[in-house]
Amino acid sequence: MSHDGNKDNSLNLLFTVTWKDDSVVLIDQTKLPNKLAYVRCKDYKEVADAIKNLVVRGAPAIGITAALGLALAAMHSKAETLNQLLADLDAAMKLLQSTRPTAINLFWALKRVMQTAKEKKSIDEAKKAILDEALKMLKEDIEINKRIGRNGAKLFESGDVVMTHCNAGSLATAAYGTALGVIRAAREEGKHITVIATETRPVMQGSRLTAFELQHDGIDVSLIPDTAVGFTMSRGAIRRVIVGADRILRTGHVFNKIGTYQVAVMAKIHKIPFYVAAPFSTFDFESNPEDIVIEERSKEEVTMMGNKRIAPEGVRVFNPAFDVTPPELITGIITEKGILKPPFKKELTLMGINHGKINPTKSTG
């Protein structure tokens, strides 16, 4: 991987993933907030490594990156028949899918680009179709985020102090963001919003990424330790909470960064509206809560801080990367198609059926 980059100065937006000179160019999020550096992935294996190692993270961003990774696999394939190409793509898809298990956007994006290849009659057509579709997804992602932003901004008033957890911003998408996109859109409407970002231990997406991104865009942000969520809410300092999602089930269960559930419980106790902002590509109309694999990450994320040990050697560690927020804690789910209100199950099941994702004749639990 080598360094390069892209930035839209007119909008001052960070572009997390782009396609340049037959490579996938990513903001290296492992270097933030100290350095805004870019890496260039020249083949799908480098893309898979970048996703696995959190160079790129956030549900929509990893979906788009993986789709572009598949385009690289197509481009470099030596296949001479369409079937051989599809077999090469299948192998690449399996590697990309194995990088992270929880965010559905990864699987959704790979399935979507793979499908376009399968519909083609020649190798050249299939190779072109994959790249075209992946680039279309990248462009669509920004448009969808802006729509989510406009829909959600209606819920926010000037002067609101809004808590967010993890990073569901430009850095978690192609650009603009979902939860932070709502805050951007509110600001574009002339509303003054102050953001309280949680640190989001142990990977610190809140302090390293959300604080960096909002400062970069000139949005008022303060940082609190995760442990200060309840106290800050109890002081009456927070008007609303907004977070992103890695997967939303038809039951309204939201899988998101570890700690989201605690924030939602606290919000409920303090009667603070708790919103989730996510695109339709984050919905999983088929699975039940117990089917979803929650990624568990290395114990070093918990026991070490940089090179410094912060827990005794040999201690047992449980380090889940995501948790589940049940629907009863959620005030609304903001999507590009509008705001879903509880009870979510009925509305979402209907949407799943309309999308052909749920077979209404079969029991889905």
- Catalogue the active-site residues: 246
Site for ligand MRU in 118-147 (CB under 6 A): none
Does residue 163 bind ligand MRU (CB under 6 A)? no
Pick the piece of the chain touching ligand MRU (CB under 6 A) from 9-17, 37-45, 164-172, 334-342: 164-172
Residues in the chain: 365
Does residue 14 bind ligand MRU (CB under 6 A)? no
Pick the piece of the chain touching ligand MRU (CB under 6 A) from 19-27, 37-45, 52-60, 64-72: 52-60
Both structure tokens of 38: 């870019």
Site string for ligand MRU, 228-247 (x = CB under 6 A): ----------------xxx-
User: Judged by CB, which is closer to ligand MRU: 89, or 104?
Assistant: 104
- Residue of 159, 161, 141 lying closest to 244 (CA atoms): 141
Pick the piece of the chain touching ligand MRU (CB under 6 A) from 58-66, 67-75, 301-309, 328-336: 58-66
Largest Cα–Cα separation, the chain: 66
CB of residue 9 vs ligand MRU: minimum separation in angstroms? Answer: 23
Which parts of the chain fold into alpha helices (H)?
A: 44-52, 59-76, 82-97, 104-118, 123-153, 179-188, 211-216, 229-234, 260-269, 300-303, 344-354
Does residue 173 bind ligand MRU (CB under 6 A)? yes
DSSP secondary structure of 333-360? EEETTEEE-S-HHHHHHHHHHHTT-S-T
State how far Cα 210 lies from the chain centre.
13
State how far Cα 76 lies from the chain centre.
28
DSSP secondary structure of 110-142? HHHHHHHHHT-SSHHHHHHHHHHHHHHHHHHHH
Distance CA 214, CA 208 (A): 11
User: Judged by CB, which is closer to ligand MRU: 92, or 172?
Assistant: 172
Q: What are phi and psi of 285, to 5 degrees?
A: -85, -5
Does residue 256 bind ligand MRU (CB under 6 A)? yes
Out of 47, 126, 257, 292, the only residue in the binding site for ligand MRU (CB under 6 A) is 257
Does residue 264 bind ligand MRU (CB under 6 A)? no
Instruction: Provide the 10 A C-beta neighbour count for residue 233.
Output: 20
Out of 1, 14, 47, 57, the only residue in the binding site for ligand MRU (CB under 6 A) is 57
Does residue 263 bind ligand MRU (CB under 6 A)? no
User: Judged by CB, which is closer to ligand MRU: 77, or 331?
Assistant: 331
Pick the piece of the chain touching ligand MRU (CB under 6 A) from 57-65, 73-81, 146-154, 303-311: 57-65
Site for ligand MRU in 278-317 (CB under 6 A): none
Residues in the interface with ligand MRU (CB under 6 A) total 17
Distance CA 224, CA 239 (A): 16
Q: Are strands 332-335 and 240-243 parallel, antiparallel or unpaired?
A: unpaired
> Interface with ligand MRU by CB under 6 A: which residues?
57-60, 103, 166, 168, 172-173, 178, 205, 244-246, 256-257, 321
